[in-house]
Each structure stands twice: as C-alpha cells, then as structure tokens.
Structure 1
C-alpha cells in the first residue's frame, strides 16, 4: 500500500492534527513548536512530501517545491491570504493550493469595529496614560481625550461607512455597525466582480438592514465616509491603494481601519496624515513589513494610530476551525478529492 508524507510547519492543535493522524496511510512530520521552523529543517523534511500545511510566515516558492519533488500534490495554508505562496511556481507544477476563508469572518468583523471605536475615542492614548502611571497627574478638562462619536446622536448629521472591498467580512462588519446609527454605506470593489449580481445583493442586504448601500469609485469612498474599512486582498492591484492622495480626500474627523493587508496602505503617507491631522485616527491590525514593526516605526509613534499585531482571527474558536479546514484541505488534496476551500491558482497567473 502506498504511503503519503505531510509536512506540518507548526503545532496547529489536537483537533486539526487528529484529522491527519486518523489517516493510516499518511506519515506526518511536525514542527511541534510555536515559533517558525528554520528554513533548513523545512527543506530537509520536504523531500518526498506529498503535502505541506503551512502558515503565513512560511515561504512557498521554487526552492521549497523543488526540494519536495515531483510527487508533491497540495499546499494548504492556515490563512485566508496566500501572498507567501508563489502562485506561478505552484501553477507550473499543477499543484493544488488550499486556504481558510469564511471561518474567520465574524472574528475579523468584531476586531474591525473594535479598532474603529478605539481610534475614534483615543483609546490608545488613554490606555498609555494609565500604563505610564500618568492618570493621577492628568488635568481633566471638558474636552480631554474627546474624539468623534461613531454612533449617531439624536439630531446629528448623517453617518456614512465606507469599505474598500465588500466581501463577506465587510458585510458582517456593516451588520455590526447599523445599530450604531449609520444610514448609508459606500464601497469600492474590484472591476473583475459581476456588478449586476452585486447590485442585486446590495439591494437585498440594504433592505434587510434598513440602510442604503451604493457602489462608488475609490475617491468617493474617501471623500464621503466617516469611517473607512479596508477589506480587500493584497497583491499588486491593491499595493498602496491608500496613498497620500486618498488620505488627503478623507474628512478631518474620519477614521481609517485596516484589517486586510498591510501593503494596501502607504505607511509613511498615513503617518503624515495623522501627524498633520488630515484625518482623525487609524486602527490597524496589519502594517506593511510586519512583523518587523518596532517602536521607531512612524505609525507606532503616532498617538492616534492604534496598532495591534495581526490579531483579527485571534479567537480560540476561529483558529481551531481554521486549523481543521487547513488539515482537511491537505488530506483531500493528497487523496485527489476536491479541496474544501481552494485557490484557483491559474486565474491569478494567466
């Protein structure tokens, strides 16, 4: 009987590992630690592998795929994004690529709203005052640490939320925001999307939520929104989509929230926008160049930037489901069954 080999580059928990271990003809090689494995360990153990289960910090490229050999069938990543995978290298070998969308929708939507609230209400500055022991010395004044209110006061002006990308996470975020009193939703989407189908979806969702949903261009999202959520993929098409030009068009009281990919935002432009008060604040779960973001990073030094270390999917429930989905993807790929969540690799390289 043929035997198969799977290399797993992190301990992804007993539930997910149990899915692989239950397959009697699969031998699993596990890096049983929380830190990233040394590249030499990965390349050495890649030899003869039929499948890889990797994380965002593991580079999947020609070097790794050549080390594995021609019997390799599938790469499964425990992440939604797959920028760490060389799609051309996978496509030319006709390899499958699995990822873990959908299961993290609610967790990321929750943290996006949290960041919007923290950034608008100066929570980062307030927390630092307490941590630094400065609260007893703080002089209270009527407008100390005040910021723009996201929820709508009776008689206050219209509130508009903007999205760059309007997929599942954006829609889940909108559902959480409607009770705050937002009356309209604007979004900019990919030109590849079926606009007629999206128009029907927008009308139906807007009717359910009692809110007007409208697709507009990127400039209008910047100009008209009180809070802008970035929820688009990474890659060349969206690289520095939020530039100095975009930020200068935003309201001075507006908040920018990025829970998608760090590369979507020009960090230097955003730091300048905060310093010169073009916008009110920013809530960032992702930053370009992460995890190499130190205390001297321009966004870390900005008081009105709330920066957290890519925690969007960080609930026990969500990470467990992501790990199980990644495990099922690698098992299905080895056995020639359809992946539960696969990436159409050739679509991105043709």
Structure 2
C-alpha cells in the first residue's frame, strides 16, 4: 500500500517534526535546508501531495495548488498571517487551511510595547551615537536623548492609546500598556458589532476612563501611541497613508507589528523627516525581507526597526510549530483541524 505524500517546505523543529514522522503511513518529502524552500523545489515535489506544511517564506498560489493535484486536502502554515496563501485557490477546491494564532499573542504584545518605548525614547539615534564612539563628545545636556513618556508620567497627564484593529493581540497589548498609566483607549475595527458593554467592562478592569470604538479620523488625531494590528490584504493596504499621518500628534508614536503594507512607507518617511509624528517602531516593513541597506527607514533616527521577530521567543515558535504539525495530523487523520482558518 502506497504511503500518503506530505510536502514539508521547512523543518519546523525536532519536537514538531517528530509528530509528523510518527505517522507511519506518511511519506514526508522535506526541504533539506534551513532557509525558505526554493520555488523550483516546491513545484517539482508538490504533485501528488495530500498535505502540505508551509511557512511565511513559501507562497501557496493558484498555480501551485493546481500543480499539486486534486488529492490535496490540507495546507498547514506555521503562521498567524495568511497573506502568503491565495485563499480562493484553496476555498474553490475545498482544501482546508490550518494556522497558528493565539500562541503568539503574548510575545507580539510584549514586542509591541518594546517598540513603543524604543521609538519614544530615541533608542535608534542614541545607540548610533554610543556605537560610533561619539557619545563622549556631546557632554551632558538636560534634554539630551529625551522623548515623550509613554503613559501618565510624573505630571499624571492624560494619555490615549490607540489600536488599529482590536483583536487578541491588541487587547493583550492594552493590558500591558495600561500599567504605564494611560488613561484612555480608542480603537478602530471594520466590524460594526456593538461592543459597548464589553468595552466598559474592559475599561473598569484596567482602570481606564474609557475604551471605545472610533472612526479612523479620531483614531489618528487622539492617539499618543498607536498600534497597528490588523491583517494584511487589499482592505488594509496603506490604511495608514499620508492623510492619516498628517492628522497625528507631533509627539505621537506609531507602532506596526501587524503587516508591512498597512503603512505607506514613503508617507512614513516623510512624516518622520518633517516631524508630523515623533517616531515609529516597526517589526514589519513593506517589501520584507528584501530590505536593502539604503532603505530610507533604516536611516531615519527616530525609526526603530526589527526584522519581523515579534513572535520570536523559543517558547512561542515551538508552540507555533507544534500547532502547525498537529493541525495537519488532525486534518488528515481525524478530519478535525485544531485551529482552522475560515475560508467561507
């Protein structure tokens, strides 16, 4: 009896690979290198696969799905984002998709706070001076390296945190930043469900004056620090554009731990150069990972950039990998994917 062919486009770690290898009736075809699988290798090995393991580095396109064949039943991605998957290609063929949300919520929320602090406290420019050996040439200054304080500060000021998108990660980030003394939370999401009771309960729990949904214009104008945590795609492409950035406070900080294309890169460069906002903290950038050394955001002193590592704790990545593996096993062996992306 022939074994079920499974295409594994990346080794996702010993523990998770052991789960896959334990399926004795599976023939695992595994990309042998520690880098995203080459398109040529994927296309050469995909035909006949019943299941597929992918990461953000592999594109699941209409062409690939058609090439793989009608026996393909489940694609399991080690990611919460699904921008790399052409969803209609799966939906039209009734192919199911497993993904890995929830387990990375805390790590991304932690990183969001870190980036807010890095941007507000001028970490990029001050580290540049330190690493260049020129700090000692400046002498001491009463406002040297200073930036706006996140939260209430010694003067107990009113402070508003904003969220573009208000799902699991945004709410986990709110819990963390509430400890800094923010007094108000505003958010925008595309849904129109009445959340007023839930928002009031959350405000009471965190000691905030209010938590409420607002439109994009008010979100831009009122946020002292703004976190963008919406999915990618055509509906959110450049939702933070020049018009949006011009409405923000000159002391405000923008943090993007969502998806790069949410923010218009050229508009952000202009906003930083001309002082429309104080600073930006970015885990994601348009065009990543192909960011050249002369990329303008890399040379903005008030822009703190990290290379899409918000979920990069050992514990989180191991949990994501295990969920990716068990989603595939569950989908093919039991007909039930632990965490399934709704393609309807």
TM-score if structure 1 supplies the norm length? Answer: 0.95
User: Which position in structure 2 is the counterpart of 1:244?
Assistant: 242
SS, match of residue 76 in structure 2: strand
User: Which position in structure 2 is the counterpart of 1:229?
Assistant: 227
Match of 2:324 among 323, 326, 348: 326
How many Å separate the matches in 2 of 1:308 and 1:52? 29
Tell me if the contact between 1:126 and 1:145 (Cα under 8 Å) persists in the aligned partners.
yes
User: Which position in structure 2 is the counterpart of 1:203?
Assistant: 200
How many Å separate the matches in 2 of 1:323 and 1:213? 34
SS, match of residue 345 in structure 1: coil
Shift of 1:2: 5.8
User: Which position in structure 2 is the counterpart of 1:311?
Assistant: 309
Tell me if the contact between 1:44 and 1:67 (Cα under 8 Å) persists in the aligned partners.
no
Tell me if the contact between 1:7 and 1:49 (Cα under 8 Å) persists in the aligned partners.
yes
1:146 aligns with 2:146: yes
User: Which position in structure 1 is the counterpart of 2:36?
Assistant: 36
Per mean C-alpha deviation after superposition, the further-off stretch among 71-80 and 56-65 is 56-65
How many Å separate the matches in 2 of 1:298 and 1:135? 24
Q: Deviations over 1:154-192 (max 9, x none)?
A: 43420110000000100100110111000110000113x
Shift of 1:302: 0.9
SS, match of residue 296 in structure 2: coil
How many Å separate the matches in 2 of 1:274 and 1:69? 49
How many Å separate the matches in 2 of 1:31 and 1:105? 28
SS, match of residue 298 in structure 2: coil
Per mean C-alpha deviation after superposition, the further-off stretch among 142-151 and 30-39 is 30-39
Q: Deviations over 1:43-62 (max 9, x none)?
A: 11112111110011101012
| Number of matched pairs | 343
How many Å separate the matches in 1 of 2:134 and 2:163? 37
Per mean C-alpha deviation after superposition, the further-off stretch among 67-76 and 149-158 is 149-158
Match of 1:276 among 274, 277, 280: 274
SS, match of residue 330 in structure 1: helix
SS, match of residue 256 in structure 1: strand
Shift of 1:266: 0.3
How many Å separate the matches in 2 of 1:157 and 1:31? 54
User: Which position in structure 2 is the counterpart of 1:133?
Assistant: 133
Q: Deviations over 1:88-110 (max 9, x none)?
A: 11111110011110000000000
SS, match of residue 172 in structure 2: helix
Shift of 1:34: 1.6
User: Which position in structure 1 is the counterpart of 2:165?
Assistant: 165
- Provide runs of 4+ in structure 1 moved above 3 Å: none
User: Which position in structure 1 is the counterpart of 2:110?
Assistant: 110
Q: CA RMSD in A?
A: 1.3
Distance 1:336 1:92, change over 3 A: farther
SS, match of residue 126 in structure 1: helix
How many Å separate the matches in 2 of 1:138 and 1:25? 68
1:254 aligns with 2:252: yes
TM-score if structure 2 supplies the norm length? Answer: 0.97
Gap runs ≥5 in structure 1? none
Per mean C-alpha deviation after superposition, the further-off stretch among 135-144 and 210-219 is 135-144
Q: Deviations over 1:231-287 (max 9, x none)?
A: 111111111000111101100000000000001000000000000001000000000
How many Å separate the matches in 1 of 2:334 and 2:50? 11
Q: Deviations over 1:110-131 (max 9, x none)?
A: 0000000000000111111122
Gap runs ≥5 in structure 2? none
